[in-house]
Structure 1
């Protein structure tokens, strides 16, 4: 893990105003995401979101019989673990790294680090 100075490799982080990045940047680290890594399983609690930069992550819907189907692919344009932004800490999908690479990861699941306080009031 290493801290990152600039978020330019992930499109969502890249559009943050400089002042916002200055506020949250010190709380974000780069993590390796090896091929085949299960980021989270369906129904598991998770504590982090990931903003892929060079990694690609598949989101799979897992059925009761264990079969699964791909429902989304997340690369440098998105975020993995969006349920945390929506107020949950579990998801019905499994996330698996399909292409090894790196991702930005906030060190805290406190989303107040990522969302300006004015927007938190709107969400709440």
Structure 2
């Protein structure tokens, strides 16, 4: 019998794996700390490591030739970086960047990660389920940003970020939130004042404190909940909202 290296993790995707599949990964994993603005997947760059966050938040963004960023999706302890690898694609046109300081993750070299996927059809299947949830999130992001006013977009994004952390404090700059909801920084500042005036949040320099989550959910409406329900259907528990999965 093979001896499996035990891994203690808060990563929901890792914890949803079978013991054997988790063992294939944990044999080669190490725990690392990440800082805000660390790039864990570079656009069109070689991918040396794959990261399973235990906390914090990372954003997957498109980056234009003049450096303008637009968010495609976010993940934290619900997911894994470099999903292109699961599809046998070895680089991505998107950049993945850490957006919260103090993020920790379990890291594995790409070579070992791909070998584990090759050895286990059930591991590949589980990771493909995660790819599906990320695609649903990205599609929902695009629809929301195209059709909803900024305070609704911001409410939805804050709920998504809140789902992926402990506590009620989000350490985020106005500039970053603007990129995440496809808006100007001044527009985000106004939207934060609207949410604060409604006593849904408290906004301070570099941080947002969640005050009334149910009210934020009502404001977000149908814009929030579908990707989260898809994750719960395919992988396991995610979030702490009041929305049903029906």
Larger Rg: 2
Structure 1 or 2: more helix by fraction: 2
Using the TM superposition, give the Cα deviation of residue 118 of structure 1 relative to its aligned residue in structure 2, in angstroms: 3.7
Q: What are structure 2's unaligned runs of at least 5 residues?
A: 129-246
Alpha carbons 1:34, 1:99 under 8 Å: kept: yes
Name the structure 2 match of 1:45.
46
Q: Deviations over 1:22-53 (max 9, x none)?
A: 33312111111111112232111212211111
Which stretch has the larger CA shift, 17-26 or 36-45? 17-26
Residue-pair matches, total: 120
Summarize the alignment of residues 1-124 of structure 1 with structure 2, pairs less than 5 Å apart: 5-100=6-101, 101-110=103-112, 111-114=114-117, 116-118=119-121
Root-mean-square deviation over aligned CA pairs: 2.5
Give TM-score scaled by structure 1 length.
0.81
Q: What are structure 1's unaligned runs of at least 5 residues?
A: none
Give TM-score scaled by structure 2 length.
0.44
Alpha carbons 1:33, 1:55 under 8 Å: kept: no
Task: Tell me which stretches of 4 or more aligned residues in structure 1 moved more than 6 Å.
Answer: 120-123
Larger relative contact order (Cα-Cα within 8 Å, sequence gap ≥ 6): 1
Which stretch has the larger CA shift, 14-23 or 86-95? 14-23
